[in-house]
Amino acid sequence: MSPLLQTSSQPQLSGHAVAFSAAQSTLKHTSVPNETQPDETRPNEARHSSRFPAFRSLPGRVRRLWKKTRRGLLVLLVVAALVHASVNIYASVMLNRELAQIRQKSEPLTIVALAPPDVPAAQNAAPLYKQAVAALRLSRSEEAAIENAGRPGAVFSRAAVDALQKNRPALELVRRAASQPQCRFPVDWNGAPHQILLPHYAEVRRLARLLAAQSLQCAHSRDRDTALRDVRALFRMSDHLAREPVLIGFLVARATHSLATVTLSRVLEASPVPAAQARSFLASLPATDWSASYRRTLLAERAFTIWGFNAAREDWLQAREDFGIGRPDTPGVVKCLGKPLTLFWSPLLKLDELYALRLWERALASVTPMQVPAPRGESALLRESLDDAPRYATITRFLFPELHRAREVRDSIEAAQRQVEVALALSHFRSRHGRYPARLQQAAALWGKAVPVDPYHNQPFQYRSDGRNFTLYSIGPNRIDDGGHSAFTRKRPNSGTRGDDIVWGPQS
């Protein structure tokens, strides 16, 4: 090859080499996506995943935690089930034993068993009371006038006189009803105790106020015989109500009895009664056994307690709502848990009922001997037992009634009944001498026999008189002479508190 050709070919080869070399250099410096250099989105993903590392590792942690604790949890669950079953068995045995003891005494466990027995229609006062209520023709203003006429020192307004005249048919029906030997109101005792309707209590109270006003009008008109006849009818109405097996009936009966004694005191004040008429009137009054009535009330309240626990065992949450313990706006989801919660709470419910039945046993034992008045301090012991009830005894605290006041009502009726005879003896003394005696023994001597004594301390009633008027009272539940100041009178001088003496006659 010629030198010329060799010279011209070498630069060409050098140009290709240079181009190849430049291409390699360009490839080295070009940014190509690969595994080692992530694109713009990969750093964000890395930052996001590093921010919540627990989400990826949580299932694994749970599995490791479960493996470590499952045996302990299983053992704890078995122990809890055994404790629950043991407590449930113990509570069931003790509760069944307590109920068996009640059955052995032949004491009723339901309110239906305590309902008044059926009476012959010809001897039943209830239909006549119902007819008397239907025959009432009283406006609100007339009822207010009738009620005002019964207050101490009040005079009969024209409205009260017109109302009595207009309601003569109703008054005659009331007298006929009160003369009946028995009374059973049409009450459905088979339903749930808290749904039993007792509208006749308010109706009989209206009739009693009307009859009391009629008696006072007769006394002011010097018609003593008719006035005493209507007072006798009031006492018999109280006796009819005392046969009801519920606490509210017992209290309404006591209120009617109190109305009768107040009316009698004003009748005797208006016109003194001679011995023969006084003794005849006293013998015609019903011999109401208030201690038996009170005990029957306690048995009914215990039956209501037993029913309440039976309802709680069916659905604990619903029972709490019915009793007013729980919230009425309980969410539906929570209500669905009623049955499981009842099953879980079942042992404590049984212990709760056991505690309640033992409280009732103590309350009933205090009146079984018919001690009048009740032993001092018994009511305080019951209140302390209720206050010291276990924390699980929520239903006991709610269903157990306040028996302190009810027992005082029972005792005060006994004192008031005894005061009736003392007041008649004083009225007889006044009819003979034109004034009241200076000492109670003088009235007893003329009466021909010893007058009853104060049941609270088995001593004569407290008595003082100026000849024209008198004050007769029992020392009351506190066994302290409060000077004739009762819970209804003004506060005692230099004391600032009210007394609890049981005073004969109207209180101002």
Q: Is 327 a residue whose pLDDT tops 60?
A: no
Q: DSSP per residue over 358-414, as a string?
A: HHHHHHHHTTTT--SSPPTTHHHHHHHHHHT--TT-HHHHHHS--HHHHHHHHHHHH
Give pLDDT, residue 150: 73
Q: How far is CA 293 from CA 45, 52, 59, in A?
A: 86, 76, 70
Residue 365 banded pLDDT, cuts 50, 70, 90: confident
What is the Cα–Cα distance from 209 to 198, expressed in whole angstroms?
19
Block residue for tokens 């059926």: 118
Task: For residue 463, give the 3-state DSSP assignment.
Answer: strand
Q: Is 496 a residue whose pLDDT tops 50?
A: no
What is the Cα–Cα distance from 447 to 264, expressed in whole angstroms?
18
Count of CB atoms situated within 10 Å of the CB of 68? 9
Here the tokens at position 327 are 């919230």
Q: What is the mean pLDDT of residues 247-252?
A: 92
Degrees (nearest 5) of the Cα angle 197, 198, 203?
140
Most confident of 230-234, 375-379, 501-505: 230-234
Q: Please tell me which residue, 339 or 140, carries the higher pLDDT value.
A: 140
Q: What is the mean pLDDT of residues 431-460?
A: 93
pTM of the model: 0.79
Q: Which one, of 307, 284, 283, 280, lies nearest residue 114 by Cα?
A: 307
Q: What is the mean pLDDT of residues 325-335?
A: 55
Give pLDDT, residue 407: 79
Angle between helices 168-178 and 158-166 (to 10 degrees): 60
What is the Cα–Cα distance from 294 to 303, expressed in whole angstroms?
14
Q: Is 200 a residue whose pLDDT tops 80?
A: yes
Q: Please tell me which residue, 426 or 25, carries the higher pLDDT value.
A: 426
Give pLDDT, residue 31: 46
Q: Please tell me which residue, 238 or 67, carries the higher pLDDT value.
A: 238
Q: Is 443 a residue whose pLDDT tops 80?
A: yes
Helix (H) or strand (E) holding 464: strand 462-465
Rounded percentage of the chain residues whose pLDDT exceeds 90: 47
Angle between helices 378-387 and 403-433 (to 10 degrees): 160
Helix, strand, coil percentages, rounded to 5, for the chain: 65, 5, 30
Q: Is 408 a residue whose pLDDT tops 50?
A: yes
Q: Which one, of 320, 400, 326, 325, lies nearest residue 358 by Cα?
A: 400
pLDDT tens by residue, 4-62: 334 344 444 444 444 445 545 544 444 444 444 444 445 554 444 445 455 455 677 77
Residue 400 banded pLDDT, cuts 50, 70, 90: confident
Give pLDDT, residue 193: 83
CA 97 to chain centre: 27
Query: Would you call 227 exposed, middle or buried from its count of C-beta atoms within 10 A (0-12, 13-18, 19+)?
Result: buried
Q: Is 439 a residue whose pLDDT tops 90?
A: yes
